[in-house]
Amino acid sequence: MYIQQAYNFLHDWWRYLVGAILIFIASQLGSIPFILAVVLKKLSNGGGFAELQDTNSLLNVLDSNLTLFLMLLSFAIGLLGLYIVVKYLHKQPFVTLTTSRRKTDWGRVWFGFGLIAVVTIVLTLVDYYSSPQDYIVQFDAVPFIILAVIAIVMIPLQTSFEEYLFRGYLMQGLGTIVGNKWLPLIVTSVVFGGLHFFNPEVDKLGPSIMVYYIGTGFFLGIITLMDDGMELALGFHAANNMVGAMLVTADWTVFQTHSIFKDISEPVVDFATVFGPVFVMYPIFIAIMAWRYKWNNWGQKLFGKVTKPSPSTIPPQEIV
């Protein structure tokens, strides 16, 4: 069981508290290069800082490729901090934060990646051909190639940090502390979605967009618990952000990139943009994954207790 295996290592509640603080500090240290670059750019242009009052204003100071790289750098540093915390504070092999299987199942990672990548590309092209007036084709080879390199290298680090933190570290930590699965699922999903409240999309679309972010957290948490590992969530999250960054951008999104398309339509909050993905597409994705990987025992996997395994069931090398 994915959460249960955390009992095999150092799992005192205070370790998760200290670990979460250290991971937060690491991610904040990783944001310093971005802040310094913005400050130096403003100083070199003779500008002031009064106008840097929100996320959008910060995102427009530097070239979009440099902005993207520096933004993602903080997540990469955060991921390194998380790895160090797991390895040295919990004495836990990183693979056990990834999956309950003996090794990472890369087939599952690629399946999750391909599923959302194909759907996103198809739906975007359908929307483009049905409403071409809503898009500008802004493909420029050199900036796009630079974007592609940054996206392929850095976005998986960003999404992996979020997955390992919420669906991994905090899910296992809360599970061992409270002894059940439903509370870690709820808490990690709501907190994950809540942290997106400061995204520019919320300013543009309003707080109702939080249904999408929190719903995405629940979707990723559900497939992690049902599959006893994060592989599907890792692939899905990476493809969602990577394809989105390279395929289409808009002036009001957090990723403002040299993508192929730019959406110039006035965004609206409706069923298709907010509720459709959560209440239609995500259940379909779950059904596809459940069919492919033969998921069963839903009640136990999503709402069951997390019990400490007996010493006789713990491999000798895992007893701490």
Domain ranges of the chain: 4-307
Q: Which residue has the tokens 């959302």?
A: 116
Per-residue pLDDT, 317: 45
The model's pLDDT over 9-28, given as tens digits with 9 standing for 90+, comes to 999 999 999 999 999 999 99
Strands 135-137 and 248-249, by their bridges, are unpaired
The pLDDT tens digits for 235-288 are: 999 999 999 999 999 988 888 899 999 999 988 887 777 889 999 999 999 999
pLDDT tens sequence across 24-41: 999 999 999 999 998 888
Joined together, the tokens standing for residue 168 give: 């991994």
> 0.85 cut: is pTM over it?
yes
Check residue 201 and give its pLDDT. 87
Report, as an integer, the average pLDDT of 281-305: 97
How buried is residue 200: exposed, middle or buried, by Cβ count under 10 Å (0-12/13-18/19+)? buried
| Range with lowest mean pLDDT among 71-75, 135-139, 293-297, 316-320 | 316-320
pLDDT per position as a tens digit, 57-103: 666 778 899 999 999 999 999 999 999 999 999 999 999 999 999 99
Alpha carbon of residue 66 to chain centroid: 21
Give one DSSP letter per residue of 147-207, joined into a string: HHHHHHHHHHHHHHHHHIIIIIIIHHHHHHHHSBSHHHHHHHHHHHHHGGGGSHHHHHH-G
